Amino acid sequence: MASDAAAELLDADILFRRAGFELRARFMLRAPWTVLFGPSGAGKTTLLRVIAGLAAAERGRLTLHGRVLTDTAKGIAVAPGTGAAQRRIGFVTQQAALFPHLTARANVAFGLTSLAPSARQARVAEMLRLFGAEALAERRPAALSGGERQRVALARAVAPEPELLLLDEPFAALDVTARVAMIEALRTSGVQVLYVSHDLADAWQTNANAIVLESGQVVAQGEARVVLADYRSQLLAQLGASTPSR
Amino acid sequence: MDWQALLLTLRLAAITTSLLLIAAIPLAFWIVFTRSRLRALVEAITTLPLLLPPTVLGFYLLVLLGPRTALGRAWIHLTGHPLAFSFVGLVVGSAIYSLPFAVQPIAAGFSAVDTALIEQARLLGAGRWRMLGELLLPLSLRSVITAAVLCFTHTVGEFGVVLMIGGDIPGSTRTLSISIFDQVQDFNYAAANRTALGLVVVSFTALAALYLLRGERAISVSTGVHRGE
């Protein structure tokens, strides 16, 4: 059983309640990419916030690679952060949330204080290159476009090598080419991703696992192609094809 | 112009402002981010000098700093002279009197920082001090400057507290506003006019510098930096 637990990237069993909304989520992530689907108001963002440690679960347990991050029964709540004793989870949302007074380079370096200056510079350069943001390095966020900001935000989140990266529709405002480029960069970085999307094509493209959340409950999880069979017609519509009649 | 009073007033305002910024920045940080139940109490205490008549505040400070209290006796034991009717006593009184003018703008500035930025800083491992030094202070610089100018000008112009705690000792506790009071008492309106004009110039210069700084900063933030042309 211990080896099973270690094989799971994330094992979550949490209850979160606030202002009449209740989230009861029991699921495991085993794949490097997992897409979280669900209608608006299903609790996707709340779930990511609880996993990130930005919102506190009322009850439950959450482990990442066998490391306990939350265990309400034992009073464990590991704080967000990049240190060995911290949560080591990155989170990028639609709002890039870059620090406006810092350049793109300084933004990416923000989470790398544990590295020696030379190693930090090398890591920042590597991340800017990976996300195609080298030319943006000395600009501040006010001088970047929406897509450029998202590239820098992804580079900043991936730079400290998080054990899990949470993405809450960070590519919603990007065109298809930019979106594919970002997904490719994330794949190259090797970071493991839990990704909220309304776009079923993303799940197909990334060969991901999928979790479907409805009204605060996980209603399905597993390989995306199987789990999302019910959404097939929607996918075909997105790809511009007509739905075959059966 | 009473140059001795002017220099003493500027010295008092500079020291008070510096001390208040040192105290108000961590205090405002605590007020904005704490979940403690003591928050309301601390906020009320820091705001109280704003509402109290200066003579009331001055009277209680005079009693508190005098030889009848343990604090006053301890000070006399340590320094050999009472805190009341001294320049140091004046600094203590001014700092307490101007405390809300330091804490409130800075707390408002910290509160206005986007929560998403604070959460990102936490996710990237920033502890409290780094959050304060590298995120909140740079993004609230206008509020800090506002607090500094308000404290400075408020201290320059205060009268009631200064008179109650410091009295009217030339070179030690006689500030510009007390000097004006003395000159009026002596029917020396010409001298009072010159001194009052000095106060107006000091206050106007400080406020003009504040608005200039705030304006320049607003322009630099809105345009961003180096578009890489």
- B8: closest CA of chain A, how far (Å): 38
| Residue B118 sits at the chain A interface (C-beta within 8 Å) | no
Per-residue confidence (pLDDT) for residue A230, from 0 to 100: 66
Interface mutation vs chain B, best among A94, A110, A136, A149, most B CBs within 10 Å: A110
Interface mutation vs chain B, best among A50, A101, A105, A149, most B CBs within 10 Å: A101
Query: B167 — alpha (psi -120 to 50), left (phi > 0) or beta?
Result: left
| Strand A59-64, strand A33-37: pairing | unpaired
Query: A191 — alpha (psi -120 to 50), left (phi > 0) or beta?
Result: beta
| Owning domain of residue A128 | 100-161
Per-residue confidence (pLDDT) for residue A236, from 0 to 100: 63
| Residue A113 sits at the chain B interface (C-beta within 8 Å) | yes
Report the amino acid identity of residue A140. Answer: R
Per-residue confidence (pLDDT) for residue A235, from 0 to 100: 57
Residue-wise pLDDT tens digits, A23-49: 999 998 888 889 998 888 889 999 999
Which residues of chain B lie closer than 8 angstroms to A114, CB-CB? Answer: 125
The verdict on residue A134 lying in a domain is yes
Average pLDDT, chain A: 87
Residue-wise pLDDT tens digits, B143-179: 999 999 999 988 988 888 888 888 888 888 888 888 8
- φ/ψ (deg, to 5) at A169: 45, 50
Per-residue confidence (pLDDT) for residue A152, from 0 to 100: 96
- B109: closest CA of chain A, how far (Å): 15
Per-residue confidence (pLDDT) for residue B152, from 0 to 100: 92
Per-residue confidence (pLDDT) for residue B222, from 0 to 100: 46
Question: How does residue B220 score in pLDDT terms, banded at 50, 70 and 90?
Answer: low
Per-residue confidence (pLDDT) for residue A232, from 0 to 100: 64
B39-51 vs B3-33: helix axis angle to the nearest 10?
150
Per-residue confidence (pLDDT) for residue A201, from 0 to 100: 72
Which residues of chain B lie closer than 8 angstroms to A137, CB-CB? Answer: none
- Degrees (nearest 5) of the Cα angle A153, A178, B124? 10
| Residue B78 sits at the chain A interface (C-beta within 8 Å) | no
Per-residue confidence (pLDDT) for residue B23, from 0 to 100: 96
The verdict on residue A128 lying in a domain is yes
The verdict on residue A26 lying in a domain is no
- In a 13 Å sphere around the CA of A205, the CA atoms on its Cβ side amount to 17
The verdict on residue A155 lying in a domain is yes
Alpha carbon distance A103, A48 (integer Å): 27
Per-residue confidence (pLDDT) for residue B226, from 0 to 100: 36
Per-residue confidence (pLDDT) for residue A5, from 0 to 100: 43
Residue-wise pLDDT tens digits, A166-202: 999 888 778 888 888 898 899 899 899 999 987 777 7
The verdict on residue A171 lying in a domain is no
For residue B149, give both structure tokens: 């100018």
Residue-wise pLDDT tens digits, A79-125: 999 988 899 999 999 899 999 999 999 999 999 999 999 999 999 99
Interface mutation vs chain A, best among B113, B120, B142, B144, most A CBs within 10 Å: B120
Q: What is the ipTM of this complex?
A: 0.88
The percent helix, strand, coil of chain A (3-state, each to 5) is 35, 25, 40
Q: Is A234 helix (H, G, I), strand (E, B) or coil?
A: helix
Domains of chain B: 3-221 (1.10.3720.10)
The verdict on residue A112 lying in a domain is yes
Total structural domains within chain A: 1
The verdict on residue A78 lying in a domain is no
CB contact under 8 A, B226 and A140: yes
* A113 → closest Cβ in B114, B117, B125: B125
> Is residue A4 predicted with pLDDT exceeding 70?
no
Residue-wise pLDDT tens digits, B72-110: 888 888 888 888 888 888 999 899 999 999 999 999 999
> Is residue B227 predicted with pLDDT exceeding 90?
no
The verdict on residue A49 lying in a domain is no
